[in-house]
Each structure stands twice: as structure tokens, then as C-alpha cells.
Structure 1
Amino acid sequence: MKPVKALRTRGGLSVRLDARAALVVTLLVAAALAASVALIGTGDYPMSFADVLRTLTGGGTAAQEFIVHDLRLPRVLVALLVGAALALAGAVFQSVSRNPLGSPDVIGLAQGSTAGALLVIVLFQGGTTAVAAGSVGGGILSGAAIYALAWKKGVHGYRFVLVGIAMAAILTAVIGYLLTKANLTDAARATTWMVGSLNGRDWDQVWPLAAACTVLVPLVLGHSRSLRMLEMGDDAAYALGVPVERTRLVTMAAAVLLTSAATAAAGPIAFVALAAPQLARRLTRSTGPNLTAAACTGATLLVTADWASQQLFGADRLPVGALTGMLGGCYLLGLLYTERRGGRI
């Protein structure tokens, strides 16, 4: 039996608390904060753990204040927000599709955001803001197209994933075509953006992403129970009073926007959305989407991967998207092997 506690308030309101899930979330938050401090202290001007903490609390020198608050803290905040947003989006899609492969990386949303950004870079030579807007627009349009093509008296999970895989293939071809039409400078810029990187991120990327997460994260978390019911099947969810199609549409729209905002801020960071929800499920040993744990896992994964890439390869030499892509590819092979042995694919 799982350790689940019931907390009762004075007003008679009863709240169920999964002790293991709460412990996992607490440890993940602590790990994310520790990795964040370590990442802030990493670079051409190294700082100790104590120096970083002292600077964050207003006790550093003028040079340390500039390095931490102007150069490194925005990068860390983008890493945390992007990781949480991608993981939360992945948890929603995996829950809605009832398929561990239901991830923005697999079903074409990341490719849609990339195609939108490349369209702005290649055809219009747009700046940072225009590229971000193109990324968001591409993600929204691809999400709407996948939902419309997968619709047939509702959205069935496997049909949704298959349509998404087909859309990803089409968009990958579009991305290749755009790269062939670009001049050398734009092609190099587009290729760099496509890798997915946290290098050079500043407050201009933090605030829009933070605003999107402030609105969308509570919206998704508020549908946690409904998503849990959806995993039992549409008929069971209907019987339990869940408005199935409305829940599916609202949560998927929020997940598309989270993916698009994260991609606009850091480029297409691979496999965080695929791996984080599954890792969270295994850590908590809980059924359902485990949204809070998934978000914390994604934030911890990305900030730790960025720190590891700098420790292993030197400051800003390996974009974090390349590292997560390599690790995520290995994870995907393991996941496919597990699903095949279980007879699910």
C-alpha cells in the first residue's frame, strides 16, 4: 500500500497527501536549487557556493553582483522555466494520448516551433523578438493542425500520436528545405538556434517565459484530477463527471503554448518533455500524470544538464540541447525496448 495521508482542516475539508510524492517533489526542488547555485558559480569567472549565496542575498562585490544578476541568473531561470514547461507539456500529452511517446519532440510540436522560427530567420532575417514570435506561431499552428487531423468523434490517443509523427516528418522536410534556401549567414544562425542552447540568455527571455508559465502552469495543474480520470479511458471519465473533450482541448492548448514559449526562449531542447514525466512517474510510483513532480523533474534535469555540459566540455562549448539530445536518444531506445517487451508496440 502507498503511504497516503488524509489531512483535515477545521472547516471539514479533507485533503489527500501522497507522502512519497511529496518527498520526491521536495528532494527535486532541493536538487534543482543546488544545481542552480552550482551553475551560477560555473564559468570563466568561477565562484564558490558560499560566494553565490552571499551575492544572491545582496552581500557580494560589485563585480560579483554584475556577473550573477546580469549574466548568469537569467540563464539559470530560463533553464528552470524551460525544463518545467517542457516537462509539464510532455506530461499532458502523455496523459491525453495514454502513450509514453506522446511528447512534443515526437508528435511534431517542437518541429512546428522550429519551422516557424526558421521561416522568420530565412525569409525575413528577423531579430530575436521576431524569431521568438515565429516559434510561438509555428507551435500553435502545428498543434492546431495535429488536433484537427486527429479528430474523429474525439481524439483517440494512438491516432493523435500517429498523426503527430506524420506531422513531424512533414515539418522536418520543411525545415530542411528552408535551410537549403538560406544564405550562409542565415543558415549558420538557424542551425545554431536549432541545437537548443542557454548561452547568452538574458532577462529579455526570462520575463515573457515567466509570464506564460504564471498563467499556464496553474491552468494545467488545476486539471490534474481530470487528466488522471482521462487515463482510465473516455467512458470511465464521462461516468465520473469529467467533461472529456473540454478538458482535452484546454490542457492540450496549454501544453502547446508552454512548448512554444519554451522553444522561443531556448530553442528546441530535445527529450526533456519525453523523459521527465516518465522519470517522475517512476520516482513517485504514482499513477496519473504527476504534474508537479514532472515539472520539478524537468527543471532539475535541464539545469543539471547545463551544469554538466560546462563541467565536462568547458563553458558554452556544448549547447545543452545537444547533450539532452544524446541522453534522450538513449532513453528513447530504452523506452521503446521496454514497451516492446510489454507488448504495447
Structure 2
Amino acid sequence: MTMGVSFRSRLARARSTGGAPAERVDFGRRVLTLRRWRVAVRLEWRSVIVCAVLAIAIACVAVFALMTGSYTLSPGQVVSALTGGETGLVHDIVVEWRLPRVAAALVFGAALGVSGAVFQSMLRNPLADPGIIGFSQGPYTGALIVILLVNGTYVQLAGGALLGGMATAVAVYVLAYRRGVQGFRLIIVGIGVSAMLGSLNTWLILKADLEQAMAAAAWGAGSLNGVSWDQVVIGGTCVLMLLLLAGMLSRPMRQMELGDDAAASQGVRVPAARLGLVVVGVALTATVTAASGPIAFVSLVAPQIARRLARTAGITLAPAAFVGALLCLAADFIAQHVAPTPLPVGIITVMLGGGYLGWLLFTEARRRL
């Protein structure tokens, strides 16, 4: 009784002075709190520092990528061209030729990182990658149908990829539903659906004309070749809106990591939150697939690297976005300038992601022994 009266008296004094109670909540780690109007956002200091370091690394790699090519430039020329100080050939090389590719790698890498973070957090499984559970094959199938049958524009490709991704998500969700959806069952069903869609994609390419088949096969490897400013602007706008939606759903997503029952006891509408997260994750993957084809393994690797760098209990979206952007940009640079011949970025991400997947399976197996 005395403790209750004491707390109420402290709370009343805090309200009368317009402040907070003298005692602060101990979150176990240093937390940065941002307040604006009636909105309060808590950020862990380590996550903020990690994102800042990753942003610096991204800027360095981006400048180096803009410098490198058949026509080598200096850092000063690159910075001057970006700030409007250069005209003529240097401006065209930096702004018109190289910058769209760098911007696409950053935007699409961030989208893939957040998409992987959404699925891994929602399903509570580090193997919940959109490419593994079929949510990348579905957009690829939809876009492939548009390429082979309509030869459509980027907007039509985006629509076909989105419809294919949503149809795949509905099919996987329905087939995995049995008194609710469990993460492991959804992953197993998704792997089966992904294999079926992979066979369908191969059949479509084999039945197409030679020129269309070669273009579709090259695009299916995941490449940023030929990305224009129109695709960057349209795709970037879609990705930005989807990232905002993902941020709005981040709180129920983190609560769902404790389990559906625990999240429901805290007021989370689990079915609605899960549906919203699936739509956002699939839409992010479909947007990237429509522009560059399926870039594999970034959404698998980025969230886990981000979690280990930030040392958070769960997966957070911002570090995953920064890691995804850095991975995609670095992989594209390796594919274009380090490899003996220019390669699609998807080949490099498969090589890096395959090694990481093997290491992840090995460490998980050792942990359970």
C-alpha cells in the first residue's frame, strides 16, 4: 500500500510539473529517445552507431564505384560532378551513366534487407528468406510472363511481378495453414512451391523464342545492367513508401517474435499484422525483381549480419537496410570491376550467400548438439 501511494504521489508531481517520474526505465542498454508531438521513438545507441558506420562505408564504396570504369576519374571529379561543378563528359559519365546503377544497388539492396528482416522476424527463423520460401520465384514468374507474352514496360513488369508474388504468398499461406500458420511449416511449403515455380520458369524460357529466352535468362540472373533513372525513381518511390509501412509495422513485428499468444496478450492483432507484413515483404521483393530480376541471398544474409553487428535481441529494420544496401553495392562492384569479365550481380550474391548459408547451417547444427 505504501509503495502504491508513493508511486502515485511521484506520478502526480511529475504531471503537475509537466515532466516524467524521477525514476527512469532501465532498458538494459543505452537508448536514444526522440519525441515529437505525441510520437516517441526509442533507438538503441549501438544500432545508431552501426548505421552511421555503415553509411560511411556505403558512401566510400559508392564514390569508388563512380570513379572506376573504362574512364577513370578522381574523387574530386566525382564529388564535383555530384554537386553540379562539372559539365560535359565528366558529368555525363558520373550522373547519367554510373550513378543510376549505384543508386539502384543502394535502393534495391535496402529493400531486400528489410524484406528479409520482415520474414525472418515474423517467422522467427534465420532461414526465412523470400528466395527460399518462394516469394522471389513468384514475382519472377509474373515478370517472366509479362516479358515473354507482352514484352511490356517497367510498370507492366512491376505489376506482373507484384501479382505473381501475391499469388505465391496466398498459395503458400493457404497450403501451410492448419489451425494457424507456423514458421517451420510455412518454410517447408514455400520451398516446395519455389521448386515448382522454378520448373515453370524453366519451361517458359524453353518454349520462348531464342532472343526472348536469352534476354529472360540473363535478366533472371539478377542484373543491374541497363537500369535507367526512370526505373530508379519509380522503384525508389515504391520502396520508400513500403519502408515507411514496414517501420509502422515494426512494433507488432518485434512483439510477434515472442510468439503469437504473447503478442496477442499485448494487444497485437496477430492475423492482421502478419498479413500486413507479408504484403510489405512480398511487395519489396517484387519491386526489386521487376527492375533487376531476382537478386538472391541478400535478404537472407543482411538481417543476420545486421543483428550481429548491432547485438540486438531481435532483428531490426534500419541496420538490415544499411547492410543490404552495402552488400548489394559491393557485390555489383565486384561483378563489374573485380571479376575477369562483367557478371550479373546475382551471381556474386549467390556465391557469397551460398557460403554464408552453409556456415549458418553448420553453426546452428553445432549449437543444438
TM over 0.5: yes
- Residues 248-299 of structure 1: CA distance to partner in whole angstroms, max 9, x if unpaired? 1111101110000011111110100000000000100102221110011100
The within-5 A match list for 1:1-345 is: 3-5=29-31, 7=33, 15-313=41-339, 317-343=342-368
Write the distance in 2 (CA, Å) between the matches of 1:8 and 1:168.
42
Instruction: State the one-letter code of the partner of 1:241.
Output: G
Write the distance in 2 (CA, Å) between the matches of 1:195 and 1:284.
31
RMSD of aligned Cα (Å) = 2.1
SS of residue matched to 2:132: coil
Write the distance in 2 (CA, Å) between the matches of 1:127 and 1:16.
42
1:39 to partner: Cα distance: 1.2
| C-alpha contact 1:195 1:319 (8 A) present in aligned 2 | yes
Q: Which has the larger radius of gyration?
A: 2
Instruction: State the one-letter code of the partner of 1:296.
Output: F
| C-alpha contact 2:62 2:329 (8 A) present in aligned 1 | yes
What is the identity percentage for the equivalent residue pairs of Structure 1 and Structure 2? Answer: 44
SS of residue matched to 1:201: coil
1:59 to partner: Cα distance: 0.6
Write the distance in 1 (CA, Å) between the matches of 2:228 and 2:35.
43
Instruction: State the one-letter code of the partner of 2:137.
Output: Q
TM-score by length of 2: 0.88
SS of residue matched to 2:323: helix
1:2 to partner: Cα distance: 5.6
Write the distance in 2 (CA, Å) between the matches of 1:39 and 1:286.
31
Write the distance in 2 (CA, Å) between the matches of 1:84 and 1:146.
25
Write the distance in 1 (CA, Å) between the matches of 2:125 and 2:36.
41
- Residues 154-208 of structure 1: CA distance to partner in whole angstroms, max 9, x if unpaired? 3211111111111101101101111221121111111100111111211121122
| C-alpha contact 2:50 2:310 (8 A) present in aligned 1 | yes
The more displaced of 130-139 and 299-308 is: 130-139
TM-score by length of 1: 0.93
Write the distance in 1 (CA, Å) between the matches of 2:148 and 2:200.
12
In 2 relative to 1, CA 8–330 (structure 1 residues): closer, same or farther, beyond 3 Å?
A: closer
1:11 to partner: Cα distance: 7.8
Write the distance in 1 (CA, Å) between the matches of 2:188 and 2:177.
12
| C-alpha contact 1:121 1:190 (8 A) present in aligned 2 | yes
- Residues 200-230 of structure 1: CA distance to partner in whole angstroms, max 9, x if unpaired? 2111211221121121101101221211110
1:128 to partner: Cα distance: 4.7
Write the distance in 2 (CA, Å) between the matches of 1:333 and 1:34.
30
Write the distance in 2 (CA, Å) between the matches of 1:10 and 1:183.
58
- Residues 14-51 of structure 1: CA distance to partner in whole angstroms, max 9, x if unpaired? 65331111110111111112211111222222212221
| C-alpha contact 1:24 1:293 (8 A) present in aligned 2 | yes
- Structure 2: 5+ residue runs without aligned partners? 1-26
Write the distance in 1 (CA, Å) between the matches of 2:241 and 2:156.
22
- Structure showing greater relative contact order (alpha-carbon pairs closer than 8 Å, 6 or more residues apart): 1
1:68 to partner: Cα distance: 1.6
Instruction: State the one-letter code of the partner of 1:262.
Output: V
Instruction: State the one-letter code of the partner of 1:331.
Output: Y
| C-alpha contact 1:4 1:16 (8 A) present in aligned 2 | no
Write the distance in 2 (CA, Å) between the matches of 1:133 and 1:13.
35
1:312 to partner: Cα distance: 1.0
Write the distance in 1 (CA, Å) between the matches of 2:329 and 2:184.
32
The more displaced of 136-145 and 291-300 is: 136-145
| C-alpha contact 1:83 1:295 (8 A) present in aligned 2 | yes
The more displaced of 2-11 and 250-259 is: 2-11
Write the distance in 1 (CA, Å) between the matches of 2:335 and 2:96.
21
Write the distance in 2 (CA, Å) between the matches of 1:130 and 1:55.
33
1:57 to partner: Cα distance: 0.3
Write the distance in 1 (CA, Å) between the matches of 2:359 and 2:287.
29
SS of residue matched to 2:357: helix
In 2 relative to 1, CA 236–128 (structure 1 residues): closer, same or farther, beyond 3 Å?
A: closer
Write the distance in 2 (CA, Å) between the matches of 1:212 and 1:10.
26
The more displaced of 128-137 and 241-250 is: 128-137
